[in-house]
Amino acid sequence: MSPHSLCDMAAKQVAILGAGMIGDVHRRAAVLAGAQVLGVMASSAERSREVAQAWGIEEAYGSIEEVAESKAEIVHICTPNASHVPYAVALMEAGKHVLCEKPLGVSVEDAQHAAKVAQDTGVVNTIPFAYRFHPMTREMRARVQAEEFGTVNLMHGSYLQDWLLNPKATSWRVDPKAGGPSRAFGDIGSHWCDLVEWVTDDRIARLVATTSITIKQRPAATAATFSAVESAAPLVDVETEDTALILFRTANDVAGSAVISQLSAGRKNRLWVEVDGMHQSAVFDQELAEQLWIGSEAGAQVLVRDPNHGSDEQRRLSKLPAGHTQGYAQCFENYVADSYAAVAAHDGNGQVPESLPTFADGARAAEICDAMLRSAASGEWVSVGL
């Protein structure tokens, strides 16, 4: 609830590409961060106009060129995965700051290219690895850095959902042309890996993976993400994985394990990360994001999010009193507000906030995903990034 958040950034003008569930999440956060949403580009010029009217905003774009030529300083890319890199590159080259939905690209090369362009153009470029913006993941990272957990000896966890459990459920994410060659891992496994690497400041060096496609065919038709509406479209073969399991060893030779699944009944968005150190263990569970579990030989502590306790970054991102759950929306709002603060810093106002996930992190995620796919295919341990 910082009243200063607005005055710091006098009404940035932003455009939003994509009008689905996640586009609206971006819009909401942009408005709250004090931006003016100037325009929107949806799946067609007509649809753009409809959404612009629904959102009460002025401009409706029919092409990426129109966006590049608009007065928007900042563009949010919330379109299907395959369009991320071409759009981002075009916009960065036009001098726009870009907040691009993940995955950055559907191939390592694409993602690396976008990261390169980001570096060359010098614009602000961020990726919503939003779980970095929960105050309690900041607390977890601060405590790793303060060596409170001791030397890390194990990292493990899972990211489980059930929204594709129904064999009739489908989404553009199922189609490798729109969503990329990996689905469960690309969509949610990438969050898990980013979070654990960022929290521990260590890197997944090598991994071995196994994947499953349990539902062999799904309807071809597109549906909104997380939608339970069944499709009656003709069935097509599913080529992207429902579940992906990895073992890994890090640059520091720590062992790790992650279970990624979109077919775990009763699991809605269960990102669960445990980091075990020689003094303490710590668990972050996204569905209980107000707390951090810290285990020690004598028992456990349950730290609660609180603007009056804990690490600096935890306090900074705590916008409500303890006990008044911030939830997913405010975590996402923190991401957008910090991205805008980076734009302000780019313009000479203030500092770039800590821990912003950038296109370099997006390229990193693509490398891990590629390694996962290579290992699942070969059955061998593979190195990440080579």
Question: Least distance from C-beta 177 to a copy of itself, angstroms?
Answer: 24
Select from 45, 327, 350, 377 the one that contacts a copy of itself (CB under 8 A).
327
Asked if 24 touches a copy of itself (CB under 8 A), the answer is yes
Please give the structure tokens belonging to residue 208: 């071995």
Select from 125, 171, 200, 261 the one that contacts a copy of itself (CB under 8 A).
261
Question: Least distance from C-beta 116 to a copy of itself, angstroms?
Answer: 33
How far apart CA 203 and CA 250 sit, in angstroms, is 5
Select from 13, 43, 166, 355 the one that contacts a copy of itself (CB under 8 A).
166
**Measuring CA to CA, which residue among 161, 170, 174 is closest to residue 261?**
161
Asked if 43 touches a copy of itself (CB under 8 A), the answer is no
Tell me if 129 sits within 8 A of 136, measured CB to CB.
Answer: no
- Interaction mask 275-314, a copy of itself, x per CB under 8 A: -xxxxxx----xxxxxx-xxxxxxxxxxxx-x-xx-----
Tell me if 8 sits within 8 A of 350, measured CB to CB.
Answer: yes
Of 115-123, 193-201, 322-330, 352-360, which part binds a copy of itself (CB under 8 A)?
322-330
H/E stretch holding 340: helix 327-346
Asked if 84 touches a copy of itself (CB under 8 A), the answer is no
Size of the site for a copy of itself (CB under 8 A): 105
Of 77-85, 93-101, 254-262, 365-373, which part binds a copy of itself (CB under 8 A)?
254-262
Q: Give strand ranges (E) for the chain.
A: 13-17, 36-41, 59-60, 74-77, 97-100, 125-126, 152-160, 204-212, 217-219, 235-237, 243-250, 255-261, 270-277, 281-285, 291-296, 299-304, 382-383
- Interaction mask 195-234, a copy of itself, x per CB under 8 A: -------------xxxxx-x----------xxxx------
For a copy of itself, the closer of residues 266 and 348 by Cβ is 266
Strand partners, 160: 261, 270
Strand partners, 77: 17, 100
